[in-house]
Amino acid sequence: MSETTAKEKQYLFDKPANIKRFFWIFYFVLVLLLVLDLLLPKHAIFPWEDWPQFYAAFGFVSFVALVLAAKYVLRPLVMRKEEYYDE
């Protein structure tokens, strides 16, 4: 097995350095967005849209809430084995 992997072509994300690079770019963009949010004018319809970093916080929190709810609430309720309907 080790022979075949050694022979096989190295792909983009086989190198940890590339993954690291990808994440640095990602973090940089995130920070950039936080800064731009403070600098640029807003034209909010609701008052909370004017709060600094409202969208960033909302996006992060709802993603986490969604995953937790799906994993700890929905999955125990509805998950069955694949043959459930064949029995």
Partner 1 sequence: MSTGIHGVIAFWDYQLILARVDRLSLLFGYIFHLVAFLGAIYALHVKEDLEQMAGLVYAGSALGVVFAGDLLTLFVFWELLTVSSVCLIWNRRTREAQAAGFRYLLVHVVGGLCLLAGVTLQIHQTGSLAFEYIGLNGLATYLIFFGVGVNCAWPLLHPWLTDAYPEATVTGVIWLSAFTTKTAVYVLARGFPGTEVLIWIGTIMTAFPIFYAVIENDLRRVLAYSLINQVGFMVCGIGIGTPLAINGAISHAFNDILFKALLFMSIGAVLYRTGTTKATDLGGLYKTMPLTCICCIVGAASISAFPLFSGFVSKSMVMEAAALGDLRLIWFILLFASAGVLEHAGIKVPFFAFFSHDSGLRPKEAPWNMSLAMVLTAGLCIFIGSFPGPLYSLLPYPVDYEPYTAAHVIGQLQLLLFAALAFPLLLLSGIYPAEIRSINLDADWFYRRGGRLFYRIMDRALNGLNDRAEQVFSLGLAGWLGRWSRDLPFRLALLLLYPLWLAQGLRGEELRKKRLALQQALAEGASPVGIGAAVAMAFLLLFFILSGLV
The footprint of partner 1 (CB under 8 A) covers 9, 11-13, 23, 26, 29-30, 33-34, 36-37, 40-46, 49, 53-60, 62-64, 66-71, 74-75, 77-82, 84-85
Tokens of 28: 């940089």
d(CA 40, CA 46): 17
Nearest distance, CB of residue 12 and partner 1, angstroms: 7
Residue closer to partner 1 by CB (options 6, 36) is 36
Residue 53 contacts by C-beta under 8 Å, 6 or more apart in sequence? 34, 37
d(CA 12, CA 53): 33
Nearest distance, CB of residue 87 and partner 1, angstroms: 10
d(CA 25, CA 31): 10
Nearest distance, CB of residue 45 and partner 1, angstroms: 4
Residue closer to partner 1 by CB (options 17, 79) is 79
